[in-house]
Structure 1
């Protein structure tokens, strides 16, 4: 037995129980009798049991999404009088943009109207929106906006359920980790605010394909995800860096190559036929000023508080807000430096970090330093945090901060009409707490990369269940040499004297 690897001796059917392994859950479990006893029969070992952990998690996901639909129902008819979309927290871009993008008039995205989103999202809007418009032409009495929202909600919620299924498939020995996603208030309030689950679903399918050692398919899915929202392409960076550490670059380059091809093929029709419409997404993101709730918004508020009132006395955040091109370069530079720092940690960590850990850090760094952080962007981090650090305590603290920001944001939207609902400082505090909790989660992930014995996932799996071609791979020789203390490195042999 001693000669067998950890992979050989793992029980494939064994499952983690959070009440035993997670300190926060263990503390809560004391209210109902404590963790599962040593002589108890684990639920997964009971025969003829219908309600397995996976089925419970999927049912909880469906329940959360059903409640989300109910919560959004006051806005579905499009009659948004007296700011009902803000007072009832039911605003959704899906319904608003059905009219703003001209879909209610039968306009074809990009051909007749320059859609503000990447092409796969635009295709999605057209594929669902144009039939609804045609139906409205045939039956004038129907509420087209309501139909459009509900058709989109069905598809987006199906993608959310599929995301939960992927989390379960990637964590067969830790199925209750996916309950963090299924029960999340974040999912409850933001699932259909925008079309983000289109990109999230493609990104998660891509991660699953990578974990199943199908790098070409993984690249195609991540490339299509990047053509829906840009961030799934960021996952290719961790794959490349970890492939470099383990000398498995062929698989990494395959994924990157197919992702580039899939992204290009998805974009090519619009790029060639409607270049100006295709450019709209990039122009909008270049021109957009500082958005609510971002690091730059918080900094600008503090600049105003610390301003001495001297004419021309302007803080750095206010100056950047007034000079958007310079702000763009600063955000790019900070994100690039963050990626460089993450790469250094990946190379010097005692063990090769897990793909999900690095992906979470990269996406979180992008959000922290971005000048735009829309309310639904939090969904990008939710499945990644489940895979990267499935610890309930820190995730709950982050969720509380996110929900606090969500409510403060709607109060700020109401106040934009001229009647303040909360002090500006309260909104800034909520935004700062959101930033801080995301940064703290990043700190916890880095700590577990540096001290892998504290990694909950590695307490169940031998290496990286999401690693695919990297799972179980040893470090490249040059990485081992790089990490070796200088005093332990072999001395350079002296040069042989040249014969006279």
Structure 2
């Protein structure tokens, strides 16, 4: 027991130290876009290029968001704003769900420059990065290093407001995992399947109000509860299939829905037009170069550019294919349930995320932080993970240089356009593969063994007197 605890302490110390160093590196790379001298409204004169020879581009959405959304004017978000007919936001509205907007408003308190806003935002984000590390370490032991010691945490920890939403998704898995562990006092689960899932659904509802995607996971979580979600029996035997728990599944859906309503409703009542403007902005958003999706880098070559045909096809194909991908993920999970007696809700959640990322009209590089925890939680083949992360590194080191070339009108560099295309298309191929592979991937240990009971010892066979 003590040896096991000592090993866990070592894993926590190493992973926390590694992730802390990664975030320090991320801060040092991004802060180079800020600093004195400052121009009007607190914009750094170094923005947006910083050191053009730096290995890691200094660009960060955290600094970019300082202007254009009244963050610099400390306007409380959503309440008094709206959107113009040409799609520009005003009056404190930001194009993110309300909790992300609130984080930005809090980060701007006391800030008078984009650099101070960035530094305040970093202070808010760091605890979430560390919390993710701790949760993943407790569930997967050394596999946490896929999170703590790979490039994405350096590249994206302080690029945008991703760490809080990733923390809610990982937190939902952690709640389900902890609830399934066996209490030494009672010899039973610490939490019932329903109770754990309701708590996890609340976290997923919070995540939906940060960046939407955790809300997708409510469906496979409800399916897990619907099928009773019991852990494998002694020696890994399949669980006993029972009837369907429709009441429990409805409780999960209701918990997530009520959480979202409770968070969104105050903003809707206080300033409906401003609240709606954020949704309208996303609805009007086009699949341009800055959305970095397969649509821009593929479809526009067949439509003669970003014309009406292109925009119409993207508007039809993107949601349709996302729906098909979601249905495929849920169906594959149900097939595994019919075979093994256990619905793989974590794998199905990861599969749905992969489908969303590949077919959505926006695929920002920092979305790698969304999918990275699933590489930790699920036994995905390591060459796939390495290929994904290598393509991601190539994309990050070139896409922001591409934006600078387009803006300045400078001659295109072959290695920049090549790096962007390699990153986009390797990601796309792997994400399509992962739609299927995630569902089939077993959980890492010890997460896979949480909730298992040892087979009880059989009594000695003593002959009874006749």
- Using the size of structure 2 for normalisation, the TM-score is 0.77
- Once the two structures are overlaid, the 10-residue window that deviates more, 103-112 or 83-92, is 83-92
Match of 2:367 among 364, 367, 377: 377
CA separation in 1, counterparts of 2:381 and 2:20? 22
DSSP-derived class of the 1:84 partner:
coil
Task: Indicate whether 1:322 and 2:339 are aligned.
Answer: no
Per-residue CA deviation, residues 254-291 of structure 1 (Å, 9 max, x unaligned), is 23211111111111111112111111221111111113
Q: Partner residue of 1:295?
A: 294
Instruction: Say whether the 8 Å CA contact 2:22–2:149 is kept in structure 1.
Output: yes
Query: Residue 404 of structure 1: which of 394, 409, 415 is its match?
Result: 394
Kindly indicate whether residue 329 of structure 2 is the aligned counterpart of residue 342 of structure 1. yes
Q: How far does the alpha carbon of each residue in 1:346-371 deviate from its partner, in whole angstroms, 9 at most, with x for none?
A: 12123235322111101110010000
> Among 259, 264, 281, which residue is 1:262 paired with?
259
Q: What do the CA deviations read for 1:356-412 (whole angstroms, capped 9, x no partner)?
A: 211110111001000011121111111122112354332111100111111221221
Confirm or deny: 8 A CA contact 1:294 1:431 kept in the other structure. Answer: yes
1:435 to 417, 428, 437: 428
| 2:19 alignment counterpart | 61
Q: Aligned equivalents of 1:229 and 1:115: distance in 2?
A: 12
Residue 145 of structure 1: CA displacement?
Answer: 2.3
**What TM-score, normalized to structure 1?**
0.72
Residue 169 of structure 2 contacts residue 203 of structure 2 at CA under 8 Å; is this kept in 1? Answer: yes
Q: Structure 2 matches for 1:57-456, cutoff 5 A?
A: 57-77=15-35, 78-80=44-46, 83-84=49-50, 88=54, 89-111=57-79, 112-129=91-108, 131-133=109-111, 136=112, 144-171=113-140, 175-211=141-177, 212=179, 213=191, 214-246=196-228, 247-292=244-289, 293-303=292-302, 314=303, 320-323=309-312, 326-349=313-336, 350-351=339-340, 352-389=342-379, 391-417=381-407, 418-423=409-414, 426=418, 427-446=420-439, 448-449=440-441, 455=442
Moved over 6 A (4+): 46-50, 315-318
Does the Cα contact within 8 Å between 2:172 and 2:204 map onto a contact in 1? Answer: yes
2:234 match = none
* CA distance in 1: counterparts of 2:332 and 2:98, whole angstroms: 35
Instruction: Classify 1:47/1:259 alpha carbon distance in 2 versus 1 (closer, same or farther; 3 Å).
Output: closer
Report if aligned partners of 1:87, 1:410 keep a CA contact under 8 Å in 2.
no
- 1:132 offset after TM fit, Å? 1.3
Contact 2:33 2:49 in 1 (8 A): no
Partner of 1:7: none
Q: Can you list the C-alpha shifts for 1:136-180, whole angstroms capped at 9, x where unaligned?
A: 5xxxxxxx3222211211221210110111112323xxx011111
Contact 1:335–1:366 (Cα < 8 Å) also in 2: yes
Alignment root-mean-square deviation, CA: 2.7
| Consecutive unaligned residues in structure 1, runs of 5 or more | 1-12, 14-43, 137-143, 304-313, 450-454, 473-500
Shift in alpha-carbon separation, 1:395–1:49, aligned structure 2, 3 A: closer
Indicate how the Cα distance of structure 1 residues 50 and 386 shifts in structure 2: closer, same or farther if over 3 A, else same.
Answer: closer
Say whether the 8 Å CA contact 1:294–1:373 is kept in structure 2: yes
Deviations 1:171-230 (A, max 9, x none): 3xxx01111100110111111111111211122222222332423322222111111111
| Counterpart contact for 1:360–1:385, Cα < 8 Å | no
Whole-Å separation in 2 of the counterparts to 1:82 and 1:192: 15
Inter-partner Cα distance in structure 1 for 2:161 and 2:275: 18
Looking at CA atoms only, which structure, 1 or 2, has the larger radius of gyration?
Answer: 1
Count of paired positions: 393
CA distance in 2, matches of 1:54, 1:105: 41
**Alpha-carbon distance change, 170 to 318 in structure 1, aligned in 2, over 3 angstroms:** farther
Aligned 8 A contact 1:405 1:434 in 2:
no
- In 2: Cα distance, 1:196 partner to 1:320 partner: 33
| Aligned mates of 1:332, 1:438 — CA distance in 2 | 16
Q: Contact (CA 8 Å) 2:30, 2:59: kept in 1 or not?
A: yes
Between 87-96 and 400-409, the greater mean CA deviation after superposition: 87-96
For the Cα contact (< 8 Å) 1:357–1:387, is it kept in 2? no
Instruction: Determine the C-alpha separation between the residues in 1 that align with 2:7 and 2:201.
Output: 38
Determine the C-alpha separation between the residues in 1 that align with 2:377 and 2:270: 40
